[in-house]
Chain A
Amino acid sequence: MSELDLGFMGEIANTPRGRGILLCIQCGRCSSSCPVARLTSEHNPRRLMEMVIIGFKKEVLPTQLPWYCLSCFTCLDRCPQGGDVGEVMFAIRNLAVRQGNMPAGIAAQAKSLYETTRVINPIRTALDKRESLGLCKITLDGLDEVQKILKKTGMDKIIQSK
């Protein structure tokens, strides 16, 4: 028996990618179109929307639930209400991350971004190969700008916190 968080839906709705939450009529087109939901009962975008609407915050943010979505955007095209489940997913993830819920893979990419301007940085052998093929150099140009930006947005803190 869960106590509910009154403001959860509002929190999501007020983020740039979260407004769709207010449009959801729980029809189930997203869930029945979702490649992941067809594979595992753990993921159900429609149910996740309802949990946010009703306010099951404790049951959503700290858990795996926000991290099943492929962002393939099939649901965006099929939602009759323009509910943008795939978009709302980012709003939920942004909140989850701020509660320290961030998969290692993503943390690693974010770290790499902050240190190299790239989420995947070439390893030595790749760099040599490029040279031998006469392909353009992969440099750290723009790193300071990227770091300035991430400091400004405060994302650097999130990265360091991990």
Chain B
Amino acid sequence: MVEKTVMVVGGGISGIQASLDLASRGYKVYLVEKSPSIGGRMAQLDKTFPTMDCSMCILAPKMIDCSHHPNVQLLSYSEVKGVKGSAGNFTVTVHRKPRYVDETKCTGCGVCAQHCPVEVPNEFDEQLGTRKAIYMPFPQAVPRAMTVDKVNCIECGLCQKTCQAGAVDLKQQPQEVELNVGAIVVAIGFDLFDPTQIPTYGYGRYKNVITALELERLLCASGPAGGHLIRPSDGKIPRKIAFIQCVGSRDRRFGTTYCSSICCKYSVKDAVLIKEHEPNSTVSIFYIDLRAFGKGFQEFINRAKSEYGVRFIRSSPGEIMEDSETKNLIVWYEDTVAGRIDNTVFDLVVICPALVPRTDASELAKVLGVEVDNYGFFKASNILTNPVDTTVPGIFACGYCLGPKTGDIPDSIMQGSATAARVAEILERRV
């Protein structure tokens, strides 16, 4: 008998889209999210390109629709531990990590966090900002429930005392739930390449070398810097900013030979954002090939050049050095079109790391029994004709966990919907 239920693993924009389409189609959906809230990478972005919509503003309603949908059951802070069965009838074991807060009682008012004495770096802010040991990763989090991070919790019990809804339960135990589903959709997204592997760029050693995702958090009004572009070393406003493309992408040394597909585009967006924040700052983008493909992108880049005066330099810098006093950065590069080798001093350098498979991708692949490609992304059964089918019937994938073939948010959304279609094709097949 065919189960008309579906499990979606990963609550990023792609997984959310898949869930919404499947649920509206009439299927019961279990949305399993590893972290305390759905939203994924898109939630971390400041604005989206090229429409310049506030990322959270367009995402939050979708997150809410998803959690309010009568056919969607959200299993946040949970992980898939085991899968048995085959297309039309899988049995999935889901491990529900203890949140130490009763989701049904907690209203997310955040009073407990105000009293919690423990302050730790916030993963959601790429470690730039801080959160408490009892926390909600970001204000628009879904579900609107706090989570206790037991690693850092000192068991002082203040949260319990101050919670007027009586939602905190520090004794909560992990749970294993078994679910029967007809199909599985994987949408676990990506991680960032570790830039310390390229020591010549000094990430980790030089304070003012940051990743693009860190920049997104800095620029974001609800981010750790309250939307003010400041540089880590001294909190001053950087006047000269450089973007460096292909940090780990198109690189044989680390096996990441592919183009990550999005860096050129978001860099131009960020460059424009910075110019809007600080009109008298200069922004230079160091690139190898300016990959502004896709709807509206070329036009946007033309505008970035002509209207905003963003500088584009065809070059992949060889090395960055730090001025030990000012903490400014000296970037050595060759303008390959002018054939001129030169160095320029910047206040802030933003590097664009390759997008790589989630650290737990291979593990999940084993659990699901699906193949990954030579980069470690989930492998499509046929990249031409079945781009969202994995190598196991009944298990599909969408979003960046399929690799850079997912260009950006629209691609992730299209794939999310496409998996919904594939699932329906299987569950509706008349036998």
Instruction: Tell me if chains A and B make direct contact, with any CB pair below 8 A.
Output: yes
- Interface 1/0s, chain A 45-87, versus B by CB < 8 A? 0110000000000000000000000000000001011100000
The distance from the CB of A49 to the nearest CB of chain B, in whole angstroms, is 11
A26 vs B315: C-alpha distance when bound (angstroms)? 8
User: A33 at interface (Cβ–Cβ under 8 A)?
Assistant: yes
Within 8 A of A (CB), among B241-284: 246, 250-253
The distance from the CB of A27 to the nearest CB of chain B, in whole angstroms, is 4
Interface residues on B, range: 20 to 34
Q: Considering only CB atoms, which chain A residue lies closest to B252 in the complex?
A: A82
User: A30 at interface (Cβ–Cβ under 8 A)?
Assistant: yes
User: B294 at interface (Cβ–Cβ under 8 A)?
Assistant: no
Also in contact, A28 and B334, with CB within 8 A (given A33-B319, A47-B339, A78-B318): yes
User: B202 at interface (Cβ–Cβ under 8 A)?
Assistant: no
Q: Considering only CB atoms, which chain A residue lies closest to B332 in the complex?
A: A32
- Is B339 a contact partner of A30 (Cβ separation < 8 A)? no
A44 vs B315: C-alpha distance when bound (angstroms)? 13
- Is A27 a contact partner of B246 (Cβ separation < 8 A)? yes
The distance from the CB of B330 to the nearest CB of chain A, in whole angstroms, is 12
Q: Which A residues are in CB contact (< 8 Å) with B340?
A: 41
Q: Which residue among B250, B334, B336 has the maximum number of chain A CB atoms within 10 Å of its CB?
A: B334
- Is A32 a contact partner of B339 (Cβ separation < 8 A)? no
Q: Could you say which of A23, A28, A78, A82 contacts B336, with CB atoms under 8 Å apart?
A: A28
User: B100 at interface (Cβ–Cβ under 8 A)?
Assistant: no
A32 vs B334: C-alpha distance when bound (angstroms)? 5
User: B368 at interface (Cβ–Cβ under 8 A)?
Assistant: no
- Is B341 a contact partner of A27 (Cβ separation < 8 A)? no
Q: Considering only CB atoms, which chain B residue lies closest to A37 in the complex?
A: B341
- Is A29 a contact partner of B341 (Cβ separation < 8 A)? no
Q: Which residue among A34, A80, A81 has the maximum number of chain B CB atoms within 10 Å of its CB?
A: A80
Q: Considering only CB atoms, which chain B residue lies closest to A27 in the complex?
A: B316
User: A31 at interface (Cβ–Cβ under 8 A)?
Assistant: yes
User: B192 at interface (Cβ–Cβ under 8 A)?
Assistant: no
The distance from the CB of B258 to the nearest CB of chain A, in whole angstroms, is 12
- Is A32 a contact partner of B252 (Cβ separation < 8 A)? no
Q: Which B residues are in CB contact (< 8 Å) with A38?
A: 332, 341
The distance from the CB of B408 to the nearest CB of chain A, in whole angstroms, is 23
Within 8 A of A (CB), among B331-354: 332-334, 336, 339-341
- Is A32 a contact partner of B319 (Cβ separation < 8 A)? yes
User: B288 at interface (Cβ–Cβ under 8 A)?
Assistant: yes
Q: How many A-B residue pairs have CB under 8 A?
A: 67
Of the A-B pairs whose beta carbons lie under 8 Å apart in the complex, a sample of 30, sorted by A's number, is: A25-B250, A26-B288, A26-B336, A27-B288, A27-B315, A28-B333, A28-B334, A30-B318, A31-B334, A31-B341, A32-B315, A32-B332, A32-B333, A32-B334, A32-B341, A33-B319, A34-B318, A37-B341, A38-B341, A41-B339, A41-B340, A44-B334, A44-B339, A44-B341, A78-B319, A80-B250, A80-B252, A80-B253, A81-B250, A82-B253
- Is B336 a contact partner of A33 (Cβ separation < 8 A)? no
- Interface 1/0s, chain B 219-254, versus A by CB < 8 A? 000000000000000000000000000100011110
- Is B253 a contact partner of A28 (Cβ separation < 8 A)? no
By a beta-carbon cutoff of 8 Å, the part of chain A in contact with chain B is: 23, 25-34, 37-38, 41, 44, 46-47, 78, 80-82
- Which 7 A-B pairs give the minimum distances between C-beta atoms? A33-B318, A32-B318, A27-B316, A28-B334, A80-B251, A31-B334, A32-B334
- Is A25 a contact partner of B334 (Cβ separation < 8 A)? no
Within 8 A of A (CB), among B369-402: none
A33 vs B317: C-alpha distance when bound (angstroms)? 8
User: B107 at interface (Cβ–Cβ under 8 A)?
Assistant: no
Q: Could you say which of A29, A37, A41, A44 contacts B316, with CB atoms under 8 Å apart?
A: A29
The distance from the CB of A52 to the nearest CB of chain B, in whole angstroms, is 16
A41 vs B338: C-alpha distance when bound (angstroms)? 11
Q: Considering only CB atoms, which chain B residue lies closest to A40 in the complex?
A: B341
The distance from the CB of B414 to the nearest CB of chain A, in whole angstroms, is 30
Q: Considering only CB atoms, which chain B residue lies closest to A38 in the complex?
A: B341
- Is B316 a contact partner of A28 (Cβ separation < 8 A)? yes
Also in contact, A81 and B252, with CB within 8 A (given A28-B315, A30-B318): yes
User: B200 at interface (Cβ–Cβ under 8 A)?
Assistant: yes
Q: Considering only CB atoms, which chain B residue lies closest to A32 in the complex?
A: B318
Q: Which A residues are in CB contact (< 8 Å) with B246?
A: 27, 80
A37 vs B251: C-alpha distance when bound (angstroms)? 23
A34 vs B251: C-alpha distance when bound (angstroms)? 19
Q: Which residue among A30, A34, A47, A78 has the maximum number of chain B CB atoms within 10 Å of its CB?
A: A78
Q: Which B residues are in CB contact (< 8 Å) with A30?
A: 318
- Is B252 a contact partner of A23 (Cβ separation < 8 A)? yes
